[in-house]
Amino acid sequence: MPKHLISSADLDRGEVEVILETASSMHDVQRREVKKLPTLRGRTIINFFFEDSTRTRSSFEIAGKWMSADTINLSAKGSSTSKGESLRDSVQTINAMAVDALIIRHNQSGACHQVAGWVDASVINAGDGTHEHPTQALLDAYTLRSRIGDLDGKHVVIVGDLTHSRVFRSNVITLKTLGARVTVVAPPTLMPAGIGSWSAADGFATSWDLDEVLEGDDVPDAVMMLRVQRERMSGGFFPTPREYTVGYGLTRPRLKALLARNPRALVMHPGPMNRGLEISADAAESDASIVLDQVSSGLAVRMAVLYHLLAGEEVAS
Amino acid sequence: MTRPDSSGPPAGSPVDPHGRTVLSSNEIARGLRRIAHEILEHNKGAADLVLLGIPSRGVELAERLALILAEVEGCDPLPVGSLDITMHRDDLRHQPTRSPMRTVIPDCGVDDKIVVLVDDVLYSGRTIRAALDALADLGRPRAVRLAVLVDRGHRELPIRADHVGKNLPTSHSEKVQVRLRGHDGVEDVVRISGGN
């Protein structure tokens, strides 16, 4: 296992499979009365979140606690960052307290990569800007595998705000690592610049037309809706929310069309959902939706990641 | 520190051809049968017994013991499970992480049961220490007993087995290799190799 988890590309197929296997053992722990393992006793984990988060931060914290690590949460508000301390000074201060892992969320792409060069602790990327969110991709793969088995040859469609989505970037990598076929769909304005050469190199398909993909010959096994990230947009990506929904939302008719072709198709969303914008309430609440499974998988997967990165002997970086 | 004696080599690993056989397939079968009788005698029947094997070969031994116990007592199959100890090991920091194996607790649970832990080789006792910790997180058995196929000595903790297939005096440098039909796909055998 690598020392840090910055990008989904840090993990090869064997490592991803080991983590997912471990996660399924950890899932059993979640159902027990005593949810505590002594595995990371004496380890200190800092959750350093420079950006808001509900599920990622709480699940990393609980995962650490269930494995007996001491976990501490820091957020930009309320830390010295608000007094103007630089990222480098902040993380080096934390590092000087001999912590074992830094779990970092930051609004700048590449922040975790930089931090990894400044500290001795393991660095786990919990989302950096519009770059990557590797544990989200792992938990998505775990949730999918627990429903439809091996992902080899399965067709996953990722729809929405690709430009601003770190979830999409990590998911494409992990899904390809596990042998799935991926199609990404977005309006031209939300399709990242230069995706043509990337998709050609990594072997995934792109489209501007959601209906065409849902009705195409290659029937989707799962559709992952991405959140429209208004906080990262400065207007001009689509005329009105209504128009976005008409073109790219998982509306009731689209859900019906999808399930008519594949009754076992699954609907995913990394959350938080903008109901009525990228996903309709019907789709979010339907039997096909595995949105809440994704959340509970998050805990098991993060326990597995912490175990493999922190429990074993020291790896030289 | 000595090598911890959990889980052992993966299924199907070849045995050292220079070793010698210390327990044949028939002797293993007889040993298990004797252990089954001892368990029943000690417990005065099969009531409340739960067998938990320690992965990987302990699980197969536990399953076999359960069959023998049911046959001897003429009762329903006894509850069998597996108890993984990976997350409870005391040497996690000294080696690369390994994937935990499955813990499966029978539906009846372990509360107020007589739990018999089953493993293939008892060596330092550290695996059993970890198993007792793991078990404590799952419930509160009325009693816990330990059955092992081979006790090779060299305990590092105050732990002993209640039921032993064979006591095997060994030196630290020797290796005890257990191979089982179901797990390894070869005939049951216990061999000893290495040493001076």
- Per CATH, the architecture of A134-294 is what? 3-Layer(aba) Sandwich (3.40)
Residue A32 is nearest to which of B88, B133, B137, comparing CB atoms? B137
Residue A30 with chain B: CB contacts under 8 Å = none
Contact B137 A67 (CB under 8 A): no
The torsion angle over the Cα atoms of residues A43, A49, A54 and A55, rounded to 10 degrees, is -50
Pairing between β-strand A222-225 and β-strand A155-159 as defined by DSSP bridges: parallel
What is the pLDDT, as a whole number, of residue A17?
A: 96
Mean pLDDT across A272-290: 94
Band (pLDDT 50/70/90 cuts) for residue B23 is very high
Residue A153 clears pLDDT 70, i.e. is over it: yes
Please answer whether residues B136 and B165 qualify as being in contact, where contact means their C-beta atoms are separated by less than 8 angstroms. no
CATH hierarchy code of domain A8-132+296-311: 3.40.50.1370
Q: A74-78, A280-284, B119-123: which range is least confident on average?
A: A74-78
Best of A5, A17, A19, A22 to disrupt the B interface (most B CBs within 10 Å) is A22
What is the pLDDT, as a whole number, of residue A199?
A: 93
Residue A142 clears pLDDT 60, i.e. is over it: yes
Band (pLDDT 50/70/90 cuts) for residue B14 is confident
Please answer whether residues A23 and A300 qualify as being in contact, where contact means their C-beta atoms are separated by less than 8 angstroms. yes
Best of A5, A26, A28 to disrupt the B interface (most B CBs within 10 Å) is A28
What is the pLDDT, as a whole number, of residue B13?
A: 75
Task: Tally the C-alpha atoms within 13 A of residue A70's C-alpha that lie toward its C-beta.
Answer: 7
Q: What is the pTM of this model?
A: 0.89
User: How crowded is residue B45: how many other Cβ atoms within 10 Å of its Cβ?
Assistant: 12
Pairwise CA distance, residues A177 & A152, whole Å: 9
For chain A, the structural domain boundaries read: 8-132+296-311, 134-294
Contact residues for A276 (Cβ-Cβ < 8 A; gap 6+): A245, A249
Residue A34 is nearest to which of B95, B100, B137, comparing CB atoms? B137
Residues, chain B = 196
* Share of residues in chain B with pLDDT > 90 (%): 79
Residue A308 with chain B: CB contacts under 8 Å = 97
What is the pLDDT, as a whole number, of residue A200?
A: 93
Residue B137 with chain A: CB contacts under 8 Å = 32, 34, 36-37
Band (pLDDT 50/70/90 cuts) for residue A78 is confident
Contact A312 B97 (CB under 8 A): yes
Does A18 contact chain B (CB < 8 Å)? yes
What is the pLDDT, as a whole number, of residue B6?
A: 47
Mean pLDDT taken over chain A: 93
Chains A & B: contacts with CB separation below 8 Å = 48
Does A237 contact chain B (CB < 8 Å)? no
Contact A37 B88 (CB under 8 A): yes
Q: In the CATH hierarchy, which fold is given to the domain comprising B26-90+99-169?
A: Rossmann fold (3.40.50)
For chain B, the structural domain boundaries read: 26-90+99-169
Mean pLDDT across B48-65: 96
Mean pLDDT across A177-184: 97
Residue in B with minimal Cα distance to A3: B96
**Burial of A212 by CB count in 10 Å (0-12 exposed, 13-18 middle, 19+ buried)?**
exposed
Please answer whether residues B189 and B23 qualify as being in contact, where contact means their C-beta atoms are separated by less than 8 angstroms. yes
Distance from CA of B138 to the nearest CA of A (A): 7
What is the pLDDT, as a whole number, of residue B60?
A: 96
Please answer whether residues A46 and A115 qualify as being in contact, where contact means their C-beta atoms are separated by less than 8 angstroms. no
Mean pLDDT across A21-40: 90
pLDDT in tens, A221-272: 999 999 998 777 777 788 888 999 999 999 999 999 999 999 999 999 998 9
Cis peptide before A272 (omega within 30 of 0): yes
Band (pLDDT 50/70/90 cuts) for residue A29 is confident
Pairwise CA distance, residues A141 & A1, whole Å: 18
Backbone angles phi, psi at A3, to 5 degrees: -75, -40
What is the pLDDT, as a whole number, of residue A165?
A: 95
pLDDT in tens, A187-206: 999 999 999 999 999 999 99
What is the pLDDT, as a whole number, of residue B5?
A: 43
For residue A150, the Cα-to-chain-centroid distance in whole angstroms is 19
Q: A151-155, A239-243, B33-37: which range is least confident on average?
A: A239-243
Mean pLDDT across B109-115: 95
Residue B94 with chain A: CB contacts under 8 Å = 313
Contact B87 A38 (CB under 8 A): yes
What is the pLDDT, as a whole number, of residue A314?
A: 65
Does A188 contact chain B (CB < 8 Å)? no
Please answer whether residues B3 and B32 qualify as being in contact, where contact means their C-beta atoms are separated by less than 8 angstroms. no
Contact residues for A243 (Cβ-Cβ < 8 A; gap 6+): none
Does A36 contact chain B (CB < 8 Å)? yes
Band (pLDDT 50/70/90 cuts) for residue B196 is low
Contact B92 A311 (CB under 8 A): yes
Best of A1, A11, A27, A33 to disrupt the B interface (most B CBs within 10 Å) is A33
Q: What ipTM was assigned to the predicted interfaces of this complex?
A: 0.79
Contact B99 A18 (CB under 8 A): yes
Pairwise CA distance, residues A284 & A275, whole Å: 8
Please answer whether residues A226 and A270 qualify as being in contact, where contact means their C-beta atoms are separated by less than 8 angstroms. yes
Residue B2 clears pLDDT 70, i.e. is over it: no
Contact B97 A307 (CB under 8 A): yes
What is the pLDDT, as a whole number, of residue B4?
A: 43
Helices (runs of H) and strands (runs of E) counted in chain A: 12, 9
Cis peptide before A146 (omega within 30 of 0): no
Residue A23 with chain B: CB contacts under 8 Å = none
Query: Which pair of tokens denotes residue A212?
Result: 């065409």
